[in-house]
Amino acid sequence: MAAAGKHETEVTEKELKKLSGEFDLECIDFLDLSDRGLTSLGAIPLCSSLRVLHLSCNSLTSATALGQLAQLEELDLSANHITGVDGFETLEALRRLDLPGNEIAQLEALLPLAGLLHLQRLTLQLPGTPLTNPVCSDPAYPTFTRETFPTLVWLDGEKISGPGSEFYIQCRGIDEQLERAADRHKNRPGDENGEPEKRGIESLEDTLAHMTLSDEQAAEAVSQLLEECGETSHRLQEHITALRKELAVDTLAPPRS
């Protein structure tokens, strides 16, 4: 596709053929349409052989029509305005779904994903970044997602099942203990005997002593963590690039009378 305009609202059949180099939409199996200002899916659902689709950093409010893509395995809808995943129940081949930076607010809005038996990686938030969804602040979110999607291996960048998952669980436990210790220190700064800090350190030492990963498990966990960090960095860079372009447009725009 020729350089798409920043205010492009949808992508046409002609543009998809030019972008992919294919003469038939049904032959396209990969598309990267990130950061193109899309507000609708246009002809994308006609690409029935798509396996990988990147649509991050657009302005989509619905992606229901993507349910037609029965062969889709990886879908990135990060940084849009999606409020639900209606229609996704037919994406039986889907293995990975990225949705951080959207507007999904209810746990029930995720239920169309419940029957996807191949879904292994689901991301609704990237901890430490603005890319999240309102639903992630629901106290029931962690339990709901694990129970509703039993095939998940990765949730929000954390490995929750399979080899190496113990490493992430133990690290989360350490983080929680450190946070509690910091809160106690903040709430009781004048404690002369240092008992809260001492108990926190002893608890942390006990947790570390019981981390029983083998060398192979540790190596795999570190390798997967590095891979996830690389992917997160790539998505953040896409988000930053989109924000910079928006700022540039606002700066160049003539002042309103």
DSSP collapsed to 3 states, 199-226:
HHHHHHHHHHHCCCCCHHHHHHHHHHHH
Q: Rounded to an integer, what distance in angstroms lies between the CA atom of residue 39 and that of residue 257? A: 28
- Write out pLDDT tens, residues 130-188: 999 999 999 999 999 999 999 999 999 998 886 554 444 545 554 544 555 555 555 55
Give the highest mean pLDDT range of 8-22, 163-177, 202-216. Answer: 8-22
Round to whole Å and give the CA distance between 35 and 57. Answer: 5
- Give the predicted TM-score (pTM) of the model: 0.69
CA end-to-end span of the chain, whole Å?
36
Nearest to 92 by CA among 110, 69, 121, 109: 69
Reported as a single tens digit per residue, the pLDDT across 93-132 is: 999 999 999 999 999 999 999 999 999 999 999 988 999 9
pLDDT of residue 101: 97
